[in-house]
A and B are shown apart, each in its own frame.
Chain A
Amino acid sequence: MLGFILQRLWQAAVVVLAMSALVFCGVYAVGNPIDVLISPDATQDIRAAVIAQYGLDLPLWQQYFGFLGRVLEGDFGRSFVYNMPVSELILSRLPATLELTLAAVLFASLVGIPIGMYAGYRPHSQVSRAIMALSILGFSVPTFWFGLMLIMLFAVQCGCMPAGGRGDTVSLFGVDFSFLTADGLSHMILPALNLALFKFSLMIRLARAGTRELMLSDTVKFARAAGISEFTILSRHVLRLISIPLVTVFGLELGSTLAFAVVTETIFSWPGLGKLIIDSITSLDRPVMVAYLMLVAMLFIVINLVVDLTYALLDPRLRKGRA
Chain B
Amino acid sequence: MTAETTAPLLEVSNLRTWFPSGKGEVKAVDGVSFSLAPGEVLGLVGESGSGKSITGFSIIGLIDEPGRIVEGSIRLEGRELIGLAPHELRAIRGKTISMVFQDPMMTLNPVLSIGTQIKLALEAHERISAAEARERAIKALAQVRITEPERKIDFFPHQFSGGMRQRVAIAIALLHRPKLIICDEPTTALDVSIQAEILAEMKELVAELGTALIWISHDLATVSSIADRVAVMRFGKIVEIGPALGVLTRPQHDYTKALLDALPSRAKPGELLLRGSGIADAAPPHRKNATSDLPPLGSPYLVIDAAVKRFEKPAGLFRNLAIRSGIAQPQTVVRAVDGVSITLKRGEVLGLVGESGSGKSTLGRMAAGITVPTSGTVHLAGKPVMSNGRNPRKVTTRIQTIFQDPFASLNSRMRVGDIVAEGPLAHKLVSRAEAPAYVGQWLSAVGLDPSFANRFPHQFSGGQRQRIAIARALAMQPDVVVCDEPVASLDVSIQAQIINLLIRLRSELDLSLIFISHDLSVVRHLCDRVAIMYRGRIVEEGGAATIYDNPQHDYTKRLLAAVPVLPTAA
Among residues 216 to 243 in chain A, which have CB atoms less than 8 Å away from a CB atom of chain B? 216-219, 221-229, 232, 236-237, 240-241
Query: Are the C-beta atoms of B92 and A236 separated by less than 8 Å?
Result: no
**B60 / chain A contacts, CB cutoff of 8 Å:** 225
B315 within 8 A of A: no
A237 to B124, CA, bound (A): 14
A217 to B110, CA, bound (A): 12
A317 to B106, CA, bound (A): 14
A223 to B106, CA, bound (A): 11
Query: Are the C-beta atoms of B156 and A228 separated by less than 8 Å?
Result: no
Instruction: Tell me, rounded to whole Å, the shortest Cβ–Cβ distance linking B132 to chain A.
Output: 18
**B172 / chain A contacts, CB cutoff of 8 Å:** 222, 226
**B99 / chain A contacts, CB cutoff of 8 Å:** 222, 225
Query: Are the C-beta atoms of B92 and A222 separated by less than 8 Å?
Result: no
A226 to B107, CA, bound (A): 11
Range of interface residues on chain A?
Answer: 20 to 34
Query: Are the C-beta atoms of A317 and B124 separated by less than 8 Å?
Result: no
A175 to B21, CA, bound (A): 63
| With contact pairs A224-B93, A316-B158 given, residues A229 and B107 touching in the complex (Cβ less than 8 Å) | no
Among residues 107 to 128 in chain B, which have CB atoms less than 8 Å away from a CB atom of chain A? 107-113, 116, 120-121, 123-125
A228 to B175, CA, bound (A): 13
A263 within 8 A of B: no
Which of A216, A224, A225, A241 interacts with B109 by CB under 8 Å? A241
B103 within 8 A of A: yes
A314 within 8 A of B: yes
Among residues 228 to 279 in chain A, which have CB atoms less than 8 Å away from a CB atom of chain B? 228-229, 232, 236-237, 240-241
Query: Are the C-beta atoms of B94 and A218 separated by less than 8 Å?
Result: no
B64 within 8 A of A: yes
Query: Are the C-beta atoms of B106 and A227 separated by less than 8 Å?
Result: no
Mostly helix, strand, loop or mixed at chain A's interface? Answer: helix
Which of B64, B91, B94 interacts with A225 by CB under 8 Å? B94
A35 within 8 A of B: no
Query: Are the C-beta atoms of A236 and B110 separated by less than 8 Å?
Result: no
**B106 / chain A contacts, CB cutoff of 8 Å:** 217-219
A192 to B169, CA, bound (A): 46
Instruction: Tell me, rounded to whole Å, the shortest Cβ–Cβ distance linking B333 to chain A.
Output: 11
Query: Are the C-beta atoms of B95 and A315 separated by less than 8 Å?
Result: no
Which of A218, A229, A314, A316 interacts with B124 by CB under 8 Å? A229
A237 to B94, CA, bound (A): 17
Query: Are the C-beta atoms of A226 and B94 separated by less than 8 Å?
Result: yes
Instruction: Tell me, rounded to whole Å, the shortest Cβ–Cβ distance linking B345 to chain A.
Output: 44
A236 to B92, CA, bound (A): 21
A219 to B121, CA, bound (A): 13
A229 to B124, CA, bound (A): 7
**B169 / chain A contacts, CB cutoff of 8 Å:** 222
Query: Are the C-beta atoms of B121 and A226 separated by less than 8 Å?
Result: yes
Query: Are the C-beta atoms of B112 and A226 separated by less than 8 Å?
Result: no
**A237 / chain B contacts, CB cutoff of 8 Å:** 109, 112, 120
**Which of chain B's residues has its CB closest to A219's CB?**
B109
Which of A226, A236, A240 interacts with B173 by CB under 8 Å? A226
**Which of chain A's residues has its CB closest to B86's CB?**
A230
**B112 / chain A contacts, CB cutoff of 8 Å:** 236-237, 240
Query: Are the C-beta atoms of A228 and B124 separated by less than 8 Å?
Result: yes
| With contact pairs A316-B156, A316-B158, A317-B156 given, residues A223 and B111 touching in the complex (Cβ less than 8 Å) | no
A232 to B90, CA, bound (A): 13
Query: Are the C-beta atoms of B95 and A227 separated by less than 8 Å?
Result: yes
**A216 / chain B contacts, CB cutoff of 8 Å:** 64
Tally chain B residues at the interface, Cβ within 8 Å. 33
Instruction: Tell me, rounded to whole Å, the shortest Cβ–Cβ distance linking A8 to chain B.
Output: 12
Query: Are the C-beta atoms of B110 and A227 separated by less than 8 Å?
Result: no
**B110 / chain A contacts, CB cutoff of 8 Å:** 241, 315-317
B62 within 8 A of A: yes
Cβ contacts A188-229/B at 8 Å (1 or 0 each):
000000000000000000000000000011110111111111
Cβ contacts A285-323/B at 8 Å (1 or 0 each):
000000000000000000000000000001111000000
Which of B91, B113, B116, B124 interacts with A226 by CB under 8 Å? B124
Query: Are the C-beta atoms of A227 and B103 separated by less than 8 Å?
Result: no
**B534 / chain A contacts, CB cutoff of 8 Å:** none
B101 within 8 A of A: yes
**A221 / chain B contacts, CB cutoff of 8 Å:** 62, 101, 107
Instruction: Tell me, rounded to whole Å, the shortest Cβ–Cβ distance linking B356 to chain A.
Output: 19
Instruction: Tell me, rounded to whole Å, the shortest Cβ–Cβ distance linking B43 to chain A.
Output: 20
**B62 / chain A contacts, CB cutoff of 8 Å:** 221, 224-225
**B95 / chain A contacts, CB cutoff of 8 Å:** 227
A224 to B120, CA, bound (A): 11
B98 within 8 A of A: yes
A217 to B107, CA, bound (A): 8
**A227 / chain B contacts, CB cutoff of 8 Å:** 90-95, 98, 121, 124-125
Query: Are the C-beta atoms of B90 and A236 separated by less than 8 Å?
Result: no
Query: Are the C-beta atoms of B111 and A228 separated by less than 8 Å?
Result: no
**Which of chain A's residues has its CB closest to B97's CB?**
A225
Query: Are the C-beta atoms of A241 and B111 separated by less than 8 Å?
Result: yes
Instruction: Tell me, rounded to whole Å, the shortest Cβ–Cβ distance linking A24 to chain B.
Output: 26
Query: Are the C-beta atoms of A240 and B109 separated by less than 8 Å?
Result: yes
Query: Are the C-beta atoms of B107 and A228 separated by less than 8 Å?
Result: no
Query: Are the C-beta atoms of A229 and B90 separated by less than 8 Å?
Result: yes
A229 to B112, CA, bound (A): 17
| With contact pairs A227-B92, A227-B93, A316-B158 given, residues A222 and B108 touching in the complex (Cβ less than 8 Å) | yes
Query: Are the C-beta atoms of B108 and A225 separated by less than 8 Å?
Result: no
A241 to B110, CA, bound (A): 8
Among residues 173 to 212 in chain B, which have CB atoms less than 8 Å away from a CB atom of chain A? 173, 175
Instruction: Tell me, rounded to whole Å, the shortest Cβ–Cβ distance linking A18 to chain B.
Output: 16
**B124 / chain A contacts, CB cutoff of 8 Å:** 226-229, 232
Query: Are the C-beta atoms of A236 and B111 separated by less than 8 Å?
Result: no
**Which of chain B's residues has its CB closest to A217's CB?**
B106
**B94 / chain A contacts, CB cutoff of 8 Å:** 225-228
**Which of chain A's residues has its CB closest to B316's CB?**
A7
A221 to B61, CA, bound (A): 11
**Which of chain B's residues has its CB closest to A240's CB?**
B111
A315 to B101, CA, bound (A): 23
Instruction: Tell me, rounded to whole Å, the shortest Cβ–Cβ distance linking A195 to chain B.
Output: 31
Residue of B95, B109, B175 ringed by the most chain A CB atoms within 10 A:
B109
Closest 8 pairs (CB-CB, A-B): A227-B94, A225-B99, A222-B107, A226-B94, A218-B106, A227-B93, A316-B156, A226-B121
Q: Which residues of B contact A (CB under 8 A)?
A: 60, 62, 64, 90-95, 98-99, 101, 103, 106-113, 116, 120-121, 123-125, 156, 158, 169, 172-173, 175
Beyond the given A226-B121, A229-B124, could you list 15 further A-B residue pairs with CB under 8 A, ordered by the A residue number? A216-B64, A219-B107, A222-B99, A224-B93, A225-B98, A225-B173, A226-B120, A226-B173, A227-B91, A227-B93, A227-B98, A228-B121, A232-B124, A237-B109, A237-B112
Can you name 13 A-B residue pairings with CB atoms under 8 Å? Answer: A218-B101, A218-B106, A219-B107, A219-B108, A221-B107, A226-B94, A226-B124, A227-B121, A228-B94, A228-B124, A229-B90, A237-B109, A316-B158
